[in-house]
Amino acid sequence: MTATPIAGTLAAVCLPRELFAVTTRGRLISGIAKEPVEGPVEVLSQGIWGDVQGDRQHHGGTFKAVYAYAREQREALAESLGREFPDGFFGENLVTTGIDTDGAVIGERWRIGTTVLEASCVRTPCATLAERTGDPRFGRRFTDHGMPGAYFRVIEEGEILARQDIEVISRPDHGVTLRDAFRGLTADQASALLDWSEESATVLYSSLVKSAQRTLAKAGLEHFHPARLSSDGRGI
């Protein structure tokens, strides 16, 4: 694992101001409607203090503790659609500038304030996001844009503050990025990712493991991955 300090900035920290009622999903209440907040915010292993996930089956847990999205990517998507999406609109906790969230290598670690975060998995667009935008086809538009943002797990709890520096303190040599995982892994990438997990004893998000194994199976390759190195991040 190599150290690669790359400068970026935490432009905003976002939390729900009020809960969002998802009318297309029964009685679900979501914390997707986030806005920037001032002052230091506490980051815990299960997420940022004050955040809310209405659908705990698909959101939250240690592998989806913190969601980051690059402001540049959100604004590019907004411009392509002729719309405006302010900071926090997609439910992101962290708004970054100057650093490519989707280019983060799986297992890459960022230091922000007194916290250390590790890139863990991608965001899959859901019906809640579509309802939030008022566009039933937004999930497809978001997918076609190819920049889903990055989920992180918390390695070291601490405090963060808007306008702090983001430092990349380590980056695995396997080179598989979150963008690669979102667009679909090649057999070589799938093999490299699983090999790295085993060599480093790093637990991967279970859906990512299954996706890598499916890719290898389609290529006629078998790869046993220890169950202890795969988890959905709930209950740990």
Q: What is the pLDDT of residues 98-110, one digit of tens each?
A: 999 999 999 999 9
Indicate whether 44 pLDDT > 70: yes
Indicate whether 55 pLDDT > 60: no
pLDDT bucket at 112, cuts 50 / 70 / 90: very high
DSSP for 74-136, please give it: HHHHHHHHT----TTTTS-SEEEESS-GGGPBTT-EEEETTEEEEEEEEPPP-HHHHHHHT-T
Q: What would the mean pLDDT of 65-79 be, rounded to a whole number? A: 95
Query: How far apart, in whole angstroms, are the C-alpha atoms of residue 172 and residue 192?
Result: 11
Can you state the percent helix, strand and coil of the chain, rounding each to 5?
30, 30, 40
Q: What is the pLDDT of residues 123-160, one digit of tens each?
A: 988 888 888 888 999 999 989 998 999 999 999 999 99
Q: What H or E segment, with its residue span, contains residue 230?
A: strand 230-231
Nearest residue to 172 via CA among 147, 210, 201, 206: 201
Query: How far apart, in whole angstroms, are the C-alpha atoms of residue 160 and residue 92?
Result: 15
pLDDT bucket at 17, cuts 50 / 70 / 90: confident
Per-residue DSSP letter, 2: B
180, 119 contact by CB (below 8 A): no
Query: How far apart, in whole angstroms, are the C-alpha atoms of residue 135 and residue 78?
Result: 13
Query: How far apart, in whole angstroms, are the C-alpha atoms of residue 30 and residue 53?
Result: 6
Indicate whether 56 pLDDT > 60: no
Indicate whether 1 pLDDT > 70: no
Q: What is the pTM of this model?
A: 0.91
Residue 130's pLDDT is 86
Domains belonging to the chain, first-starting first, are: 8-170 (2.40.33.20), 184-231 (no CATH)
Query: How far apart, in whole angstroms, are the C-alpha atoms of residue 1 and residue 98?
Result: 23
Average pLDDT of the chain is 91
Q: What would the mean pLDDT of 159-166 be, rounded to a whole number? A: 97
Indicate whether 83 pLDDT > 90: yes
Q: What H or E segment, with its residue span, contains residue 71?
A: helix 71-81
Tokens representing 82 are: 């002729």
Indicate whether 194 pLDDT > 90: yes
